[in-house]
Amino acid sequence: MAYSHITVFGGSGFLGRQIVKRLAEESTHVRVAVRHPERASFLERSDRAGQITAVYADVWEEASVGAAVDGSEAVINMVGHYVERSKATFEATRGHGAMQVAQAAATAGVQRLIHISGLGTDPKSDSPYARARGIGEQLVTEAFPAATILRPGVIFGPEGGFLNRLAALARVMPVLPLFGAGETKLQPVFVGDVAEAVAKALATPATKGRLYELGGPRVYTYKELVQLVIARIESKRLLMPIPYFAWKVLAALMAPLPSRPISRNQVELMQQDNVVRADALTLADLGIAPTPVEAMWPR
């Protein structure tokens, strides 16, 4: 990797941490741009060579974004969330916020921009979340045409992610509810493979201006994944199909809560398959063999 300074927006989250650590392996100085730098200080402490620095940046504040990218040769942006709060709407974060980062990168003369989106992104989607991501991708490519876009599926890994959340529920709940009949198709991708995809994209000039969809080697139904988790924790659990209209009612009732376990957006997303398109560029095109879910069970 030829970049000595890289800025990562949203680098303190589950995926962001892995990307930051992977980039630091290349002797790269990584600037972790987040709204709460104190919450990212653990990354600085984990870096013995002093390559990782947490700085303040808010994607809605042009000045802070510009300061965060200043002096960097590459920028990675993964800022986003699944629940809207106050001004932090999907459109504001995934749309306007993504555009701010791309414009700042272009203005600063940054060589590479990696924008991390997600499978199922569509600017015409009925889902506000998927639609905002699609609009964000359009705004990013308009501001920075050479941007590389990565769309990972649901992410799993040893320090968090989709499967760990399922396992946490399975350990305390004797009955596990399913979204509908549990037939929604998912293609889980290992967090380490996504981090490696970022590194490979940065190291490969041919990835400029291209879009990659990142999924694991196998497609599962939601029910199959729940069953895998139950088998892993070696417990018996009853699976209860719950129709989507009931989930929507529950999400509406929980909407006023500041920290709600389910949102209307998440229910909407679970009604759509989340898999790599047949004609998409994938991990294989980046020279990465995707890691199976089963290979990571011991961790």
Torsion angle in degrees (nearest 10) through CA of 51, 57, 63, 65? 70
pLDDT of residue 128: 78
Q: Is residue 27 part of a domain?
A: yes
Token digits for 140? 């990013």
Token digits for 204? 């490969």
Q: Give the CATH number of the domain where residue 12 resides.
A: 3.40.50.720
Q: Is residue 97 part of a domain?
A: yes
- Encode pLDDT of 57-101 as tens digits: 988 889 999 999 999 999 999 886 655 555 556 565 677 888 999
Residue 185 CA to residue 275 CA, distance in Å, equals 7
- Encode pLDDT of 207-254 as tens digits: 999 999 999 999 999 999 999 888 887 778 889 999 998 988 988 887
Q: Is residue 80 part of a domain?
A: yes
Q: Is residue 162 part of a domain?
A: no
- Encode pLDDT of 124-135 as tens digits: 887 777 888 899
Q: Is residue 55 part of a domain?
A: yes
Structural domains in the chain (count): 1
Q: Percent of the chain beyond pLDDT 90?
A: 53
Residue 143 CA to residue 67 CA, distance in Å, equals 18
**pLDDT higher than threshold 90 for residue 202:** yes
Residue 233 CA to residue 144 CA, distance in Å, equals 46
Q: Is residue 222 part of a domain?
A: no
Q: Is residue 241 part of a domain?
A: no
Q: Is residue 60 part of a domain?
A: yes
Residue 1: other Cβ atoms inside 10 A = 15
Domain that includes residue 210, residue range: 5-155+189-217+274-290
